[in-house]
């Protein structure tokens, strides 16, 4: 019997565990370790943050699902990986610390035959002074954060009703933050909420981002077909912001936040300030912070993980210049090069390089988005990791046939721009591939036949449908595996 341990129960980890158990059946053991008792559909946190959904509409408890699937579930946080075991036991294991009320603080060694690191990111609010919940800004990175953000937004709306003008600042809270799409989506929903309340004359909404141009989204921007024409995501994004009355500050690296004031550095090297009454800023992401040790107990963390804390996989991490990178340098099976029984799907893997060209200010500050790996890519990668582990367990396969390079994978993103069955709106964008391939597609970097952008009510219907469809899939209801990632 083989034992597979999955660290994390987000989109990537939950997908991996589901397919592992379905394909391995009762003969093999699947264990999921996650510090939260809930699965949450993160893309819908935006709607919590503007009061259109409740927290329980985007999450559910994991244990009942895993009990039904016969998956062993441990509500705990992984702190150490021992891929060679130790001098007393050669079997590899992870050290976990329980986070549930019953066993909180208790540690345990969990052995494994295969390990899937799907921990996702650490929300690195501490990388920017004053950033985050409990300080001076808000977040929609978790459903708990989004609830607090909606509470704060309601207070600003009430102030506007009482005649006080409010300044809203939304975007990225660090010079190398990613996930611009989530912040972009939230800015549009805030604008729509204020417009529907008839308070747009009392509000000033400003977007602040580390992107060189609007619509970069950490993937170097894109050219897309829209209405029969080919346009850039820069024009696409600027036109939507203009329609919603959102101003913008780009090429900005936020470095400090005080009560009502954001301090940032521009790509030109200037240091500026922007006042606000309400701010929702996305933090930088880092690895989960696990340590790794060899058989003798010596620290091998930097062998297993990149300096960012994300796990190294089958990518080219050599020190090439940005111009020398290619799509072939991106991972395809997400297997650790030193320990072939460890994998890292989703945000947990270390990308080999930036997709957007790295830009530095004259002061040496990197002001540029990190590569995105959220949503659809995370689910797809989780599925192929599960498939390859299953093939290895059942057939001894070491030459994996299931691959999912972001240089050969497409993605679809639907950006909500207002909630409502008949008055909703969304900007829909598909790109293929995610990492541009200028050798294969010299004109646009991507296949323009599959890189398309549109906006309208139909996009909102699709996003609402996807919300319910993917929660249905995640809950493991009948024929869940027929729903694509």
Q: Judge whether residue 38 has pLDDT over 90.
A: yes
pLDDT at 319 over 90: no
Question: 137 in a domain, yes or no?
Answer: no
State residue 401's pLDDT score: 94
What pLDDT, on the 0 to 100 scale, is given for residue 334?
A: 98
Q: What is the pLDDT of residue 337?
A: 98
Please give the pLDDT value at position 225: 86
CATH code, 89: 3.50.50.100
pTM for this one?
A: 0.96
Per-residue confidence band for 272, with pLDDT thresholds at 50, 70 and 90: very high
pLDDT band at residue 375, thresholds of 50, 70 and 90? Answer: confident
| CA max distance for the chain | 70
**Residue 55 belongs to some domain of the structure:** yes
In a domain, residue 183? The reply is: no
Provide the number of structural domains found in the chain: 1
Res. 229: pLDDT tops 90: no
For the chain, percent of residues with pLDDT exceeding 70: 100
Is 226 within a domain? no
At 92, the pLDDT band (50, 70, 90 cuts) reads: very high
pLDDT of residue 227: 78
pLDDT value of position 454: 87
* Interval 164-212: pLDDT, tens: 999 999 999 999 999 999 999 999 999 999 999 999 999 999 999 999 9
**pLDDT of 75:** 98
> What range defines the domain where residue 48 resides?
3-123+286-395
- Is 72 domain-assigned? yes
349 in a structural domain = yes
SS percent in the chain: helix, strand, coil, step 5: 30, 25, 45
Mean pLDDT, range 340-362, rounded to an integer = 97
- Residues in CB range of 363: below 8 A, 6 or more apart: 265, 269
* Rounded-to-integer distance, Cα 40 and Cα 373, Å: 17
Beta-carbon contacts of residue 372 (< 8 Å; ≥ 6 apart)? 178, 179, 180, 181, 217, 218, 219
Instruction: Tell me what pLDDT residue 423 has.
Output: 85
Residue 421: the pLDDT is: 85
Mean of pLDDT over the chain: 96
Confidence of residue 109 (pLDDT cuts 50, 70, 90): very high
Residue 70, CA distances (Å) to 27, 31, 97, 243 in order:
11, 9, 22, 50
Residue 117 lies in a domain: yes
Q: Going by C-beta distance under 8 Å and a sequence separation of 6 or more, which residues neighbour residue 470?
A: 41, 483
Cis peptide before 433 (omega within 30 of 0): yes
Residue 130 lies in a domain: no
The pLDDT tens digits of the residues spanning 60-88 come to 999 999 999 999 999 999 999 999 999 99
What pLDDT, on a 0 to 100 scale, did the predictor assign at position 434?
94
pLDDT digits 0-9 by tens, 384-443: 999 999 999 999 988 999 999 999 999 988 999 989 888 889 988 899 999 999 999 999
* pLDDT for residue 422: 86
């Amino acid at each position: 019997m083989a034992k597979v341990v999955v660290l994390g129960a987000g989109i990537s980890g939950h997908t991996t565990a589901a397919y592992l158990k379905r394909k391995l059946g009762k003969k093999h053991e699947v264990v999921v370790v996650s510090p939260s008792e809930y699965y949450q559909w993160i893309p819908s946190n935006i709607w919590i943050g503007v009061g259109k959904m409740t927290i329980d509409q985007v999450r559910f408890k994991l244990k009942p699902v895993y009990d039904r699937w016969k998956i062993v579930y441990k509500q705990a946080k992984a702190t150490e990986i021992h891929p060679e075991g130790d001098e007393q036991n050669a079997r590899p294991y992870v050290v976990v610390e329980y986070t549930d009320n019953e066993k909180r603080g208790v540690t345990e060694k969990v052995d494994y035959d295969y390990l899937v690191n799907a921990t996702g990111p650490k929300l690195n609010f501490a990388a920017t002074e004053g950033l985050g919940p409990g300080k001076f800004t808000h977040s929609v990175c978790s459903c708990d954060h989004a609830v607090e953000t909606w509470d704060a937004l309601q207070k600003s709306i009430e102030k506007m009703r009482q005649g006080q003008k409010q300044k809203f600042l939304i975007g990225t809270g660090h010079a190398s933050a990613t996930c611009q799409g989530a912040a972009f989506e939230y800015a549009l929903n805030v604008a729509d909420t204020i417009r529907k309340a008839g308070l747009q004359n009392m509000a000033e909404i400003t977007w602040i981002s580390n992107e060189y141009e609007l619509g970069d989204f950490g993937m170097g921007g894109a050219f897309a077909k829209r209405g029969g024409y080919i346009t850039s995501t820069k024009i696409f994004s600027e036109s939507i912001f203009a329609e919603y009355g959102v101003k913008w500050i780009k090429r900005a690296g936020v470095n400090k936040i005080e009560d009502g004031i954001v301090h940032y550095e521009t790509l030109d090297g200037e240091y500026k300030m922007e006042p606000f009454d309400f701010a929702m800023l996305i933090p930088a992401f880092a690895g989960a912070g696990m340590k790794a040790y060899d058989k003798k107990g010596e620290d091998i963390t930097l062998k297993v993980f990149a300096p960012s804390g994300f796990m190294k996989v089958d990518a080219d991490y050599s020190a090439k210049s940005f111009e020398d990178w290619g799509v072939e340098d991106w991972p395809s099976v997400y297997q650790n090069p030193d320990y072939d029984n460890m994998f890292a799907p989703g945000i947990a893997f270390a990308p080999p390089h930036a997709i957007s060209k790295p830009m530095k200010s004259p002061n040496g500050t990197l002001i540029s988005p990190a590569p995105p790996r959220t949503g659809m890519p995370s689910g797809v990668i989780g599925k192929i990791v599960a498939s390859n582990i299953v093939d290895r367990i059942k057939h001894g396969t070491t030459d994996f046939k299931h691959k999912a390079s972001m240089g050969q994978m497409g993605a679809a993103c639907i950006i909500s721009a207002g909630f409502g069955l008949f008055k909703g709106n969304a900007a829909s964008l598909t790109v293929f591939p995610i990492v541009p391939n200028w050798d294969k597609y010299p004109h646009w970097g991507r296949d323009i036949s599959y890189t398309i952008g549109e906006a309208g009510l139909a996009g909102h219907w699709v996003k609402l449908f996807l919300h319910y469809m993917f929660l249905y899939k995640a809950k493991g209801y009948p024929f869940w595996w027929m729903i694509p990632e």
